Structure 1
Amino acid sequence: MFIKDKKAVIFDMDGVIIDTELIWKQAEKEVFSSLGAKVIEEYSKETQSMTTSEVTQFWYKKFSWSNIGLREVEQMVVSRVVELIESEECLIDRVKIFIERLKSKNYKIGLATNSPFAITPQVLKRLDVAHLFDTVSSAEFEERGKPDPAIYYTTAKKLGVDPKDCLVIEDSYSGMLAAKKAGMTVASFTKGNKKSHFDIADYRIDSFEYDRIVLVKVN
């Protein structure tokens, strides 16, 4: 199950330790629609791998609004996401147990997300895993988000681990590409849907179930 030649495991957040895809879609639709944007699926697909700042700029370019700044709109989306995380069913089965087992094996644990930093405390609180993470990084503080590798370089530096000694668990192509560019080993988390696996990954994790965690080497 565990890779003996690695010293750290870095998790993506959305889609890996918490299932927030629908939450983000709902929050963005509510906020941008209220400003006059026509939020359609075609456009939403284009924004899936963007940071919140990039998403806000995307919708502003499509449907310019007035009397409110982009930063304020971005914060409206973030605030709504936090509310939904508190109230909606969005936990991923057994991920806490998986992280606890990693800690018991003395791996350093990091979080690297494109989401705003303000969301991470609520996510970690909801999962009761804040004490298990050695560091948390957000692309909000980088010049560019994933697929740029900057956030993974930052996280490895904060952990005090060489990038080649890190295993990254991601569920999106842009996230995997960022980790690969940083020289890290990548595991694709499929949530049981093997069709969602990306060939760019070195390993595949289908489930975090306590007694049947699958870490499959794919290359």
Structure 2
Amino acid sequence: MTNYKAVIFDMDGVLIDTEKLWKQAEYEVFTSLGVNVSEEGTIKTKTMTTSEVTKFWYDISPWKDKEHIVVEQMVISRVIELIESENCLIDGVKSFIKNLKLKNHKLGLATNSPYKIIPYVLKKLSIEDLFDVVVSAEFEINGKPDPAIYFKAAKKLHTRPQDCLVIEDSYSGMLAAKNAGMTVVAFTNGNSKKEFEIADFHIDSFRENLYNISK
């Protein structure tokens, strides 16, 4: 860890367990518009940005009377409601982040999720003051696995990409960080998946000490 000046976190699935919340919001909103939301489709949309998800379902089953941006905001608003009302915390992550802060690491957050959601997640965890930089792929041409969001995070942290350690839980996120020239720690959450093999290091739980991790 002494080799890394900054630690950058993914958000969904790392800071907070929102996969099921996104899936629920996606189903509720798009079925209300007459779309047959299939399980196969939700697997494909899992790593997309909200804008990409909206276009995906529109291309399959176009709706009338609502612009894409309106539908996208419907999904975002529903996810925010669920974050505020549901138990979606990941065990140990708050203390994990605080310990890194105490050791004077710069901390960044880089997510494919819309920027609007970030404050609600940080509030849910009571960590509003711990991150030096938060960035959303909403403002990039392409989201993860494109590395643009990680390049932006490093630039805002005034840190070279090779001096950044990234904590991710998805293949697309890990690929984005690797393509940015960063070191990747896979947060497996106890799962065993082939996609984690791309990572440089692995942690199963945020109860682990990042200073003691191994490949």
TM-score by length of 1: 0.95
Q: Which aligned segments of 4 or more residues in structure 1 are displaced greater than 2 angstroms?
A: 194-197, 212-218
User: In the TM superposition, what whole-angstrom CA distance separates every residue of 1:89-126 from its partner, at most 9, and x where no partner exists?
Assistant: 10000101000000011000000000000000000000
Indicate the SS of the match to 2:196. Answer: coil
Question: 1:217 and 1:107 mapped to 2: Cα distance?
Answer: 19
CA contact (8 A) 2:188 2:196 kept: no
**Correspondence for 2:122:** 124
What is the one-letter code of the residue matched to 1:126? Answer: K
**Correspondence for 1:173:** 171
Question: 1:8 and 1:79 mapped to 2: Cα distance?
Answer: 31
What is the one-letter code of the residue matched to 2:123? Answer: K
Shift of 1:169: 0.2
Indicate the SS of the match to 2:199. Answer: coil
**Correspondence for 2:110:** 112
CA contact (8 A) 1:31 1:77 kept: yes
Question: 1:216 and 1:191 mapped to 2: Cα distance?
Answer: 14
User: In the TM superposition, what whole-angstrom CA distance separates every residue of 1:143-172 from its partner, at most 9, and x where no partner exists?
Assistant: 000000000000000000000000000000
CA contact (8 A) 1:173 1:198 kept: yes
- For residue 134 of structure 1, the aligned residue among 128, 132, 135 is 132
Indicate the SS of the match to 2:198. Answer: coil
Pairwise CA RMSD: 1.1
Indicate the SS of the match to 1:132. Answer: coil
Question: 1:195 and 1:70 mapped to 2: Cα distance?
Answer: 34
CA contact (8 A) 1:190 1:197 kept: no
Shift of 1:51: 0.2
Question: 2:192 and 2:49 mapped to 1: Cα distance?
Answer: 26
Indicate the SS of the match to 1:90. Answer: coil
**Correspondence for 2:4:** 6
CA contact (8 A) 2:145 2:172 kept: yes
CA contact (8 A) 1:189 1:197 kept: no
What is the one-letter code of the residue matched to 2:134? Answer: V
CA contact (8 A) 1:188 1:197 kept: no
What is the one-letter code of the residue matched to 1:130? Answer: E
- For residue 202 of structure 2, the aligned residue among 201, 204, 215 is 204
**Correspondence for 1:217:** 214
Question: 2:78 and 2:144 mapped to 1: Cα distance?
Answer: 23
Shift of 1:4: 1.1
| Structure 1: tracts of 5 or more residues without a match | none
CA contact (8 A) 1:8 1:110 kept: yes
CA contact (8 A) 1:7 1:166 kept: yes
Question: 1:167 and 1:196 mapped to 2: Cα distance?
Answer: 21
- For residue 143 of structure 1, the aligned residue among 136, 141, 148 is 141
Shift of 1:188: 0.2
What is the one-letter code of the residue matched to 1:93? Answer: D
**Correspondence for 1:76:** 74
- For residue 102 of structure 1, the aligned residue among 97, 100, 103 is 100
Percent identical among aligned pairs is: 64
Aligned residues: 214
